[in-house]
Chains A and B, each alone.
Chain A
Amino acid sequence: MAGSVPLASTKTPTERKRATKESGLVKWILIGAAVLVLCWLIVLPLVVVVTEALKKGFGVYVEAITNPDALSALKLTLIVAAITVPLNTIFGVAAAWVITKFKFRGKQILVTLIDLPFAVSPVIGGLIYVLVYGAHGWFGPWLQEHDLKIIFAIPGIVLATLFVTFPFVARELIPLMEDQGQQEEEAAVMLGARGFRIFWKVTLPNIKWGLLYGIILCNARAMGEFGAVSVVSGHIRGQTNTLPLHVEILYNEYQFSASFAVASLLLLLALVTLLLKSWFTRKSHSH
């Protein structure tokens, strides 16, 4: 673009414009460098997952993802996401409502505490549940007496996933609802609407796209979490194995093609997430 600007001998607006832009050559060098960085850092890992998965042919690929262990891992991953995402969504909406619609003391502390799981290593996120519910933990003896199992069982996986995906929805909604203020909701109250009706008819249409955005990010993390789940799962094949853990097991058994085949399912999840994300962002901007 800058290259097509004609040379002017006197000080014209175009010349001033040129002075705050790089020359065409610099511009294209920078774009080229950026594309190179993106391809190396982000696109290459993505391509390698696909090529490694198909290395031993399509038959091995299909066999790997239709293997009973892989299917049960897929099932568990879906179950965990189906429990954790709605729970964290309800919390996110409730927390965003109280934080953005009311004034109260300690609000800043509440906001900081909500972000806390992002600052804690996922491995520590798993460890703390072992300390509470594990055999030697606070409730360990009581759970054993009543023959309940949380750690090395599905409830532990759900709890650890709840922890690591805790802030996603709240974090997306708080700035959004802050910007929108509360006039519309107050008007609805004046007109006689109450409680959930206000949220349903007034707030929700305004935050719809932001909410969906938070939900899919929460879902991607819930289905893909590795560190925290690894601590509490116990790695029992066909029982407490999620898809990311199944990738690890296959990899450690040197079944690389199978491992990458399962990984490609998770890659697909990531790509769908990105697609929906950019769609929701466009929608929310057009509102």
Chain B
Amino acid sequence: MKKSTSQRGVLPGFGLTMGYSVLYLSLVVLIPLSALLLNSTGLTWEKFWSVATDSRVLASYKVSFLTAAAAGLIDAVLGLLLAWVLVRYEFPGKKLFDAMIDLPFALPTAVAGVSLTAIYSSKGWIGSIFESIGIKIAFTPIGITLALMFIGIPFVVRTVQPVLQDLDAEVEEAAATLGASRLRTFRTVILPELLPPLLTGFALAFARGIGEYGSVVFISGNMPMKTEIAPLLIMSKLEQFDYAGATAVALMLLLISFVLLLLINSLQKRMRKTAL
């Protein structure tokens, strides 16, 4: 014991803080999560497979993943614009602008949910305009995507912003000296540097979007096969006391999102290598 302390340095508290951290982590996160994996509901393989391949369940995965991906992509484009303007330009009200970006982090999701539904329903400020040209937003996948865009936008802005801030001005100057137009410099010099943080921002928004519940349930309309998201399906299975079914849907959802995040992670690593 004495030996290990001297190896670790002179600071006190290793045993206490380590023990407490691991204990608390186990109690709050690891043991409850393991209930999902350790099959506490008597979920058999057959039951798992029949739930996971049920057409209504498959449709809910499709809705969740497609709307989260669409929202992440649109957020990547809009987030790049917001980050660019915040880093490169000075304009009145910029500080307030910067602070407002974080509102989706601080606003309870249920509040966002009811508010977005009021905006995009057929009687709402924006919904009524689109209704008059025959486009429904609330209670369709478009509405779900809009809610997820709101939730995801700060992830993109806050990952791109610091990278853009630290970007070396000399490279841009060199490109300009060599006669590149501003647009070309952006496309061939600046954008490649920003791709890794854009991908990270997309991945964070996407991951958050897959699991999101509060902001989506109000605007989605929750129609099975059409606008029912996977987290809602977990909820309705729980309300019918179908614990095994809820566990099966949750396990599958976790599994797919971890695999997707792993893929995005490795893509990121490869991009970083080629960037060097």
Contact = CB atoms under 8 A, between A and B. Distances in A.
Contacts of A270: 103, 106-108, 111
From DSSP, what is the main secondary structure of chain A's interface residues?
Answer: helix
From DSSP, what is the main secondary structure of chain B's interface residues?
Answer: helix
Given A42-B104, A116-B33, A263-B114, A98 B18 contact: yes
A113 B32 contact: no
B2 to A, nearest CB: 15
A186 B210 CA distance: 45
Contacts of A110: 21-22, 25
Contacts, number: 290
A33 B82 CA distance: 9
Contact of B153 (A41, A130, A195): A41
B149 A97 contact: no
A83 interface: no
A247 B241 CA distance: 25
A127 B100 CA distance: 33
Contact of A30 (B17, B84, B116): B84
Interface in B212-265: 212-214, 218, 230-232, 234-235, 238, 241, 243, 246-247, 250, 253-254, 257-258, 261
* B contact residues, range: 35 or more
B36 A131 contact: yes
A276 B186 CA distance: 36
Interface of A: 1, 16, 19-23, 26-27, 30-31, 33-35, 37-38, 41-46, 48-49, 52, 91, 94-95, 97-98, 101-104, 110, 113-114, 116-117, 119-124, 127-132, 134, 136-138, 159, 162-163, 166, 182, 185-186, 189-190, 194-195, 198-199, 217, 220, 223-227, 230-231, 243-245, 247-248, 251, 256, 259-260, 263, 266-267, 269-271, 273-275, 277-278
Across chains A and B, which 4 residue pairs bring their CB atoms closest together, nearest first? Answer: A121-B211, A224-B108, A227-B213, A226-B214
